[in-house]
Structure 1
Amino acid sequence: MRKTFYTLAAVFLCLFAFSSCGYNGLIDKREAVEQQWANVENQYQKRSDLVPNLVATVKGYASHEESVFTQIAESRSKLGGTVNVDITDDPEKFAQFQAEQNTFSASIGRLLA
């Protein structure tokens, strides 16, 4: 009878030991999953915090781009008016044409930069 009692006690002790280890393992895995999900949420938060900076950068560049395109359009229109005039005979008109060419080249350079 004692032998049976000890055997049953050993079986229950083994079952109890294995069940708590399994439970602790499940808890550890759940905590690991929660920690990794917290890391994912942190990355999402960092990403969403950077959006206003990106929007401000794009707005700044858009205003720069608008001014460059406006300068290019103005200089092209000025060049179109002076090319039709005979500039080879009048040094003053030729100097004006050169100045407009330089302005156009500078605005194209800003566009390419």
Structure 2
Amino acid sequence: MSFIILALLIALSVYAIVLYNTLVKKRQMVEEGWSGIDVQLKRRANLIPNLVETVKGYAGHEQETLDAVTKLRASVGSVPAGDVAGRAKAEGALGQALGRLFAVAEAYPDLKASENFSDLHNSLDEIENAIQMARRYYNGAVRGLNVAVESFPSNLIANQFKFEKAEYFEIEDEAERAVPKVEF
């Protein structure tokens, strides 16, 4: 009888260790996913000054749009590292401003024909695609962690060792999802 109880305790201990390690792995995947998003957002932020300067050379009188992009880029950098919702909001606003910037560029055929502008635009498109892929990976990792944190019996281990649900990286404001409206 005591052998059965001992075997059961060992089996439960092994199972608890497996659950704990699974939770650790899922948390690390979330952190890796966030790091991937962060890298792509930094690449985009580093590209923006070159893009603004190129547009400024052709369309200097569109100062309001150029200033908005520059200010929003700076505000993105001021969001605390762990504030996923704040970062998503700031990045959404920056994305809208970049959309307006490209709409302004449409009005200047010389600018659109510029090889430098074209290269910057293509680089930004590549980065936006990489951000989208990184965001999908991150949100998938968040989903996996959140399911594990809330599901029985792993929630018992999660509660005991202070594992918490993570935030999705998403746009909450419907206006940020809309295509920017530009009027000249």
Unaligned 5+ residue runs, structure 2?
59-107, 134-184
* Residue 43 of structure 2: aligned partner: 71
Counterpart of 1:104 in structure 2 is: 124
- Measured in 2, the distance between the counterparts of 1:64 and 1:58 equals 10
Distance, in Å, in 1 between the alignment partners of 2:55 and 2:46 is: 14
Q: TM-score, normalised by structure 1?
A: 0.53
Partner residue in 1 for 2:177: none
Q: Which has the larger radius of gyration?
A: 1
- Structure with the bigger RCO (C-alpha within 8 Å, sep 6+) is 2
Q: Distance in 1 between matches of 2:110 and 2:16?
A: 68
The TM-score, its normalising length taken from structure 2, stands at 0.36
For residues 88 and 32 of structure 1, what CA distance do their matches in structure 2 show?
81
The structure with the greater share of residues assigned to helix is 1
Give yes or no for the alignment of 1:58 onto 2:78: no
Percent identity, please: 11
CA deviation vs aligned residue, 1:22-49 (integer Å, no higher than 9, x gap): xxxxxx8xx9988777665443221112
Distance of 1:58 and 1:104 partners within structure 2: 25
The DSSP-based 3-state class of the residue aligned with 1:47 is helix
Question: What letter matches 1:68 in structure 2?
Answer: Q
Match of 2:54 among 66, 79, 82: 82
Q: Is 1:95 aligned with 2:67?
A: no
> Aligned pairs, how many?
84
Moved more, 55-64 or 101-110: 55-64
Unpaired segments ≥5 residues, structure 1:
1-27
